[in-house]
């Protein structure tokens, strides 16, 4: 973590990937918040396509692409079905979405009918010292 961010609180949830996905899916279906995993959080930022359900906490979701939807042949069937159900839900529930390119933003608007104002494009780039 950059020194300028080292003083900020951070919390990592360590579960196996498949059990974690199932827990998030079931919690969204049941309307259960996972606030106990991030006590006192004022903002939650998901840097991948899995948005933890939280109650009363603003959320930001980073979307890299919709490759699972655009090129389904390159995904396992279970992953394809899960992501095509979950990602639109997570995008609707997020307060703000970061798209890593204009193409990703365009895809999100076209495929999920999202308000373009909800999506900010923030390009990924290496730090200057790389």
The per-residue pLDDT string of the chain (130 residues; one tens digit each, 9 = 90 and over) reads 567 767 776 666 666 667 888 888 889 889 899 999 888 899 999 988 889 999 999 999 999 999 999 999 999 998 899 999 999 999 999 999 999 999 999 999 999 999 999 999 999 887 787 7
Q: Supply the pLDDT for residue 54.
A: 93
Angle between the N-to-C axes of helices 77-93 and 102-112, in degrees from 0 to 180, rounded to the nearest 10: 90
Q: Under a CB-based contact definition with an 8 Å cutoff, are residues 45 and 62 in contact?
A: yes
Claim: this prediction has a pTM higher than 0.75: yes
Q: Supply the pLDDT for residue 12.
A: 62
Cα-based angle 68, 72, 76 (whole degrees, multiple of 5):
85
Q: Supply the pLDDT for residue 1.
A: 56
Distance CA 27, CA 36 (A): 13
The b-or-e profile of 40-60 (16+ CB within 10 A means b, else e) is ebeebebeebbbbbbeebebb
Determine how many CB atoms are found less than 10 A away from the CB of residue 34: 18
Determine how many CB atoms are found less than 10 A away from the CB of residue 90: 22
Q: Supply the pLDDT for residue 15.
A: 62
Q: How far is CA 52 from the centre of its chain?
A: 8
Complete domains list, the chain, with CATH = 43-130 (3.40.50.2000)
Q: Supply the pLDDT for residue 2.
A: 66
DSSP SS3 for 25? helix
């Amino acid at each position: 973590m950059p020194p300028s961010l080292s003083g900020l609180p951070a919390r990592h949830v360590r579960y196996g990937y498949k059990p974690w996905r199932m827990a998030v899916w079931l919690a969204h279906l049941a309307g259960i918040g996972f606030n106990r995993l991030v006590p006192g959080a004022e903002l939650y930022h998901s840097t991948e396509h899995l948005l933890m359900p939280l109650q009363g906490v603003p959320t930001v979701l980073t979307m890299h692409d919709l490759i699972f939807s655009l090129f389904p042949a390159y995904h396992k069937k279970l992953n394809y079905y899960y992501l095509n159900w979950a990602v639109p839900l997570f995008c609707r529930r997020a307060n703000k979405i970061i798209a890593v390119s204009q193409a990703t933003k365009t895809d999100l608007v076209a495929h999920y009918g999202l308000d373009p104002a909800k999506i900010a494009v923030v390009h990924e780039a290496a730090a200057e010292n790389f």
